Amino acid sequence: MAGQEQQRKDHQRDDEQPEPGAAPAAGQAQDAQRDADLDALLDEIDGVLEPNAQEFVHTFVQKGGQ
């Protein structure tokens, strides 16, 4: 499973490469760092998300206010 997810992500990043061999700009380096940070963040959040998303979202019903 994890391998498949990794492949999908790698595939997507390939799509986003602008020019083969182009020198990465500082912004792109920052963005790469941001992607790595994001992966770590998602792993952390996985541990705190309400366990049953379907059920939670279904029952999250509010009354209208102002």
Closest to other proteins by CB, 20 or 58:
58
**What minimum distance in Å lies between the beta carbon of 24 and other proteins?**
14
Residue position matching structure tokens 């997810």: 5
Going by C-beta distance under 8 Å and a sequence separation of 6 or more, which residues neighbour residue 16?
Answer: none
Residue type, 65: G
Q: Does 53 bind other proteins (CB under 8 A)?
A: yes
Q: What is the C-alpha separation between 37 and 28, in angstroms, rounded? A: 14
Task: List residues near other proteins by CB under 8 A.
Answer: 5, 8-9, 12, 27, 30-31, 34, 37-39, 41-42, 44-45, 48-50, 53-54, 56-66
